[in-house]
Amino acid sequence: MSLPFPDDFAFGVATSAYQIEGAVDVDGRCPSVWDHFCTVPGAVRDGHDGSIACDHYGRLAEDVDLIAGLGVDAYRFSTAWPRIVTAPGHIEERGLAFYDRLVDALLERGVAPWLTLFHWDLPLWLHHRGGWLDRSIADHFAEYTEAVVGRLGDRVKHWITFNEPQCVFGLGHVRGVHAPGLRLDMATVSRAIHHGLLAHGRAVSVIRDRVPDAKVGWAPVAFVDYPVRPEARGVAAAATFRLPQGDEWPFNNTWFTDPVGLGQYPEGADPNLWRGLPAGWERDLETIGAPLDLWGLNIYRGRPVDVGPDGELVLVSRVPGHGETLMGWSVDPECLYWGPRFFCERYGKPVAITENGLASMDWVHHDGTIPDLGRVDYLVRHLHALRRAIADGAEVLGYFQWSLMDNFEWELGYAKRFGLVHVDFETLERTPKESYARYAALCHSRGATLPEDVAPLR
């Protein structure tokens, strides 16, 4: 018989504001850095933008019905900062009213809202004032948090402050392939990262003050190195929290997660990272390291590792033809077994898988169906691994499939489809895929329909 998930485990689905809402010039919303970035020639594939996206802003009731139809316990969404704080000191009532309607619609259907405050759509006016390079952004984020919490805190009990800081800074401030499109040196980006972590901490404080029974967390990307043999467990855990290094330095866990989880930056990191920290950074660590109730982990892939002859880390080559998603990301279900275990052990907090999913090759077939069997298999494999992690002691609060529907996939425009629901981006018609029905069955059965054993992926 299949091992059950805990009774209070939350099966969920996730989206983000800029990727689905559209309505970028409606009801007082101000431009975001992504609105501007999409106007830069060549920045986004085929010149796409998020001005319409899925028109979730205009199709709220239809989309909430799709969420409820899955039988999920929870829905993770983000509020759009530029829809709420549209100018210095100005709170836009119409923006807050939209999220009022969304939260009420979810609760009426028995779905718990998990609200993310920042999913990359920084107001453009704030970027022009220095953005993440200016310390005052922490004050602005606190003001924004105060507005959202003041309006929704009586009904929303799960709060995520910041989504994927590694991508915000690594892709947006180092590589320049995401908004705001900057290519800055390591020391300068280190200062921006510190201000981002400080903003997170300030938001935690606001939520604690206003919603005493809130469950508060954040959602970094979790890069997971996993052992191919039990003997390699220790080296895999160490590698998962390796120090920033080389050109990939922004895409690590430790420089971002240790200040939040341990109240300190990791020793031994590149001197330029230390040099870039702003004056008085030590005094901010108490705020940055404010205790959390949960850690959101966005996990999409991992790397297999082993112990070399001298005890060193060895990356293990995958077999030729190993499964990949249309993003070119390897399919590594073991990352959902080891990732939660490693993060629970290092930071001592329960985790939730706040994002996990894939871009798959799917379209509406001639008979009107969308048999996205690759996504179905991905779901089964990853949830099976997660269930094993729970059985072996990891405290996991929930799983949020990315994503509810096909959406604007940042610099890739509308070329990659992550959704359980297909969106025709000309007509905006929604069509549930086969994965939608299969995930709904998993949710309704509380995971009991998962197979007991799953053959290794080759």
Q: What is the mean pLDDT of residues 404-427?
A: 98
Residue at 363 is within a domain: yes
What is the pLDDT at residue 393?
97
Q: What is the mean pLDDT of residues 197-204?
A: 99
What type of residue sits at position 208?
A: R
Q: Give just the sign of the alpha carbon dihedral 71, 117, 43, 125.
A: positive
Q: How many residues does the chain have?
A: 458
Q: What is the largest CA-CA distance in the chain?
A: 63
- Domains identified in the chain, total number: 1
With cut-offs at 50, 70 and 90, classify the pLDDT of residue 276: very high
Angle between helices 254-262 and 335-347 (to 10 degrees): 40
Which token pair is 423?
């969106």
Cα 418 to chain centroid, rounded: 13
CA distances from 69 to 54, 99, 120, 280 (A): 18, 20, 28, 51
Whether 355 sits among the annotated catalytic residues: the reply is yes
Q: Give just the sign of the alpha carbon dihedral 20, 22, 24, 28.
A: negative
The CA distance from 251 to 315, in Å, is: 17
What is the pLDDT at residue 209?
98
* Parallel/antiparallel/unpaired status of strands 313-315 and 302-307: antiparallel
What is the pLDDT at residue 1?
42
Inform me whether the pLDDT recorded for 4 exceeds 80: no
Among candidates 261, 201, 12, 21, which has minimal Cα distance to 114? Answer: 12
What's the domain range around 317? 10-444
Inform me whether the pLDDT recorded for 250 exceeds 80: yes
Residue at 175 is within a domain: yes
Residue at 324 is within a domain: yes
Inform me whether the pLDDT recorded for 29 exceeds 50: yes
Inform me whether the pLDDT recorded for 368 exceeds 90: yes
Whether 267 sits among the annotated catalytic residues: the reply is no
The CA distance from 244 to 269, in Å, is: 6
Helix, strand, coil percentages, rounded to 5, for the chain: 40, 15, 45
Q: Which long-range contacts (CB under 8 A, 24 or more apart) does 35-42 make?
A: 35/82, 35/124, 36/124, 36/127, 36/179, 36/180, 37/178, 37/179, 37/180, 37/181, 40/181
Residue at 456 is within a domain: no
CATH of the domain at 202: 3.20.20.80
CA distances from 77 to 4, 129, 156, 162, 307 (A): 27, 27, 12, 12, 40
The CA distance from 376 to 369, in Å, is: 14
What is the pLDDT at residue 456?
87
**Active-site residue, selected from the candidate residues 164, 334, 409, 411:** 164
**Hey, which residues does 112 pair with through a beta bridge?**
74
Inform me whether the pLDDT recorded for 3 exceeds 80: no
What is the 8-class DSSP label of residue 228?
S
Residue at 450 is within a domain: no
The CA distance from 413 to 230, in Å, is: 41
Alpha helices in 170-253 (DSSP H): 186-210, 233-240
Lowest mean pLDDT among 1-5, 62-66, 205-209: 1-5
Residue at 135 is within a domain: yes
Residue at 1 is within a domain: no
What is the pLDDT at residue 454?
93
Q: Is 443 helix (H, G, I), strand (E, B) or coil?
A: helix
Q: What is the mean pLDDT of residues 244-271?
A: 96
pTM reported for the whole predicted model: 0.98
Give strand ranges (E) for 311-350.
313-315
pLDDT, one tens digit per residue, over 278-291 is 999 999 999 999 99
What type of residue sits at position 210?
A: R
The CA distance from 433 to 372, in Å, is: 7
**Hey, which residues does 113 pair with through a beta bridge?**
75
Residue with token string 């069509």: 431
Q: What is the mean pLDDT of residues 406-428?
A: 98
Inform me whether the pLDDT recorded for 359 exceeds 90: yes
What is the pLDDT at residue 2?
61
End-to-end CA distance of the chain: 26
The CA distance from 250 to 190, in Å, is: 9
pLDDT, one tens digit per residue, over 129-176 is 999 999 999 999 999 999 999 999 999 999 999 999 999 999 999 999
Q: What is the mean pLDDT of residues 282-308?
A: 98
Cβ neighbours for 426, distance < 8 A, ≥ 6 positions apart: none
With cut-offs at 50, 70 and 90, classify the pLDDT of residue 261: very high
pLDDT, one tens digit per residue, over 80-116 is 999 999 999 999 999 999 999 999 999 999 999 999 9
Inform me whether the pLDDT recorded for 382 exceeds 70: yes
**Active-site residue, selected from the candidate residues 146, 355, 409, 411:** 355
CB 272 within 8 A of CB 184: no
CB 355 within 8 A of CB 301: no
| Phi and psi angles of residue 116, each rounded to the nearest 5 degrees, phi first | -105, 130
